[in-house]
């Protein structure tokens, strides 16, 4: 099941970024450190062109530190790109972003040439929390639901440093299937766009492969890590649901409730420090997604060619 979510206000955000970008010196893209590849918006890369970009791996305090290091190296190896990991609610690390912007655009600064920065990110990635920390004010709405910010706003961080905040935006077609599931698990996708049980099963598969001890520590299943990793994901969801009391009359497990429990535990980080993807995994997923899209485009073109050929042979 491919997960897609691009509501109307995101079309407006796309248009606003397209119009704003010509006057911008640096782009800050806030990523979720638990899914740093999946939460990077390919549409944003198209809209911003070759503008210097600061990648902020937010929520690093709940991400796997070893995998965060891999992602920082991966992003810092790219041209005109810097990457930092931080917790948006901590003032000292957040203030380093201003220095990072000046490093990317050293000729900007002072009243004659103020720094102009566009800050973007997928929904529910912690962008508004970061803005409030940077400005020492509650200037942006925060919440644990996708799509809180709906309008662009300009925020003055200093007399010569302007920050434009944009609403959280995904992209019209998520071609990397695994990214869709990871985004849904993180809360970046509206709840009406996915099946919670399917997303929870995908999430459990990621956790089983690398974080089975954390599953046991959280749910006290009485199973060795190897046994947890070997369980079919649907059986594991059922075992967790039964252990957590998500049981209906007749003794059946309420899988919907169990799925909600698992996703909530991931989102609130009570499972521990987890990162759902490595750069190598994401690159493989991305290559497979591009291959699927190329095949899809070829089939569409073939259908159109057959239509044209057929219409050209008909009698008027």
CATH code of 99's domain: 3.40.50.300
Count CB atoms within 10 A of the CB of residue 41: 19
58 and 146, same structural domain?
yes
Q: Would you say residue 144 has pLDDT above 70?
A: no
Cα–Cα distance, 266 to 273 (Å, whole number): 9
pLDDT at position 166, please?
Answer: 86
Domain boundary among 112, 142, 165: 165
- Residue 106: partners with Cβ closer than 8 Å, 6 or more residues away: none
Q: What is the 3-state secondary structure (H, E, C) of the chain?
A: CCCCCCCHHHHHHHHHHHHHHHHCCEEEEEEECCCCCCCCCHHHHHHHCCCCEEEEEECHHHCCHHHHHHHHHHHHCCCCEEEEEECCCCHHHHHHHHHHHHHHCCCCCCCCCCEEEEEEECCCCCHHHHHHHHHCCCCCCCCCCCCCCCCCEEEEEECCEEEEECCCCCCCCCCCHHHHHHHHHHCCCCHHHCCHHHHHHHHHHHHHHHHHHHHHHHHCCCCCHHHHHHCCHHHHHHHHHHHCCCECCCCCECHHHHHHHHHHHHHCCCCCCCCCCCHHHHHHHHHHHHHHHHHHHHHHHHHHHHHHHHHHCCCC
Whether residue 315 is contained in a domain is answered as no
155 and 211, same structural domain?
no
Q: Would you say residue 208 has pLDDT above 90?
A: yes
- For 14-58, the pLDDT digits (tens) are 888 888 898 999 999 999 999 999 999 998 888 888 899 999 999
Domain boundary among 139, 165, 191: 165
150 and 196, same structural domain?
no
- For 85-115, the pLDDT digits (tens) are 999 888 887 778 888 999 999 999 888 999 9
Domain boundary among 135, 165, 195: 165
267 and 222, same structural domain?
yes
Query: Among residues of the chain, what percentage have pLDDT more than 90?
Result: 61
96 and 29, same structural domain?
yes
Whether residue 316 is contained in a domain is answered as no
pLDDT at position 29, please?
Answer: 95
228 and 93, same structural domain?
no
Which residue segment(s) compose the domain that 229 sits in?
A: 174-304
Whether residue 178 is contained in a domain is answered as yes
256 and 130, same structural domain?
no
- Residue 222: partners with Cβ closer than 8 Å, 6 or more residues away: none
Question: What is the chain's mean pLDDT, rounded?
Answer: 89
Q: Would you say residue 315 has pLDDT above 60?
A: no
pLDDT at position 314, please?
Answer: 52
Average pLDDT over residues 250-270: 96
98 and 24, same structural domain?
yes
Whether residue 271 is contained in a domain is answered as yes
156 and 13, same structural domain?
yes
Confidence band of 215 (pLDDT split at 50, 70, 90): very high
Task: Give the CATH number of the domain where residue 229 resides.
Answer: 1.10.1580.10
pLDDT at position 14, please?
Answer: 87
Asked if 170 contacts 123 with a C-beta cutoff of 8 angstroms, the reply is: yes
Query: Which residue has tokens 């190897």?
Result: 226
24 and 154, same structural domain?
yes
Average pLDDT over residues 215-237: 96
Asked if 130 contacts 157 with a C-beta cutoff of 8 angstroms, the reply is: no
190 and 105, same structural domain?
no
Asked if 249 contacts 255 with a C-beta cutoff of 8 angstroms, the reply is: no
pTM value is 0.88
Query: Which residue has tokens 């003032």?
Result: 91
Average pLDDT over residues 152-158: 82
């Amino acid at each position: 099941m491919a997960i897609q979510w691009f509501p109307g206000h995101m079309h407006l955000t796309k248009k606003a970024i397209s119009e704003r970008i010509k006057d911008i010196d640096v782009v800050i893209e806030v990523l979720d450190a638990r899914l740093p590849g999946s939460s990077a918006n390919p549409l944003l890369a198209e809209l911003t062109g070759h503008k210097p970009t600061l990648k902020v791996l937010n929520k690093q305090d709940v991400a796997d530190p070893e995998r965060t290091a891999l992602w920082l190296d991966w992003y810092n190896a790219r041209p005109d790109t810097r990457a930092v990991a931080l917790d948006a609610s901590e003032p000292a690390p957040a203030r380093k972003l201003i220095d990072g912007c000046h490093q990317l655009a050293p000729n900007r600064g002072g009243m004659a040439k103020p720094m102009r920065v566009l800050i973007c990110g997928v929904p529910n990635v912690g962008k508004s929390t970061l803005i409030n920390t940077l400005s020492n004010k509650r200037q942006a709405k925060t919440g644990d639901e996708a799509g809180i910010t709906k309008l662009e706003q300009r925020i003055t961080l200093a007399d010569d440093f302007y920050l434009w905040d944009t609403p959280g935006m995904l992209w019209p077609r998520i071609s990397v299937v695994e990214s869709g599931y990871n985004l849904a698990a993180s809360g970046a996708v509206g709840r009406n766009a996915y099946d919670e049980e399917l997303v929870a099963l995908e999430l459990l598969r990621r956790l089983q492969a690398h974080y089975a001890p954390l599953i046991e520590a959280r749910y006290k299943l009485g199973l060795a890590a190897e046994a947890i990793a070997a369980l079919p994901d649907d059986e594991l969801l059922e075992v967790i649901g039964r252990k957590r009391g998500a049981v209906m009359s007749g003794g059946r497990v309420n899988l919907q409730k169990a799925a909600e429990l698992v996703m909530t535990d991931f989102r609130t980080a009570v499972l521990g420090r987890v990162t759902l993807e490595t750069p190598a995994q994401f690159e493989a997923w991305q290559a497979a997604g591009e291959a699927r899209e190329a095949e899809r485009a070829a089939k569409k073109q073939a259908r159109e060619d057959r239509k044209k050929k057929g219409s050209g042979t008909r009698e008027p």
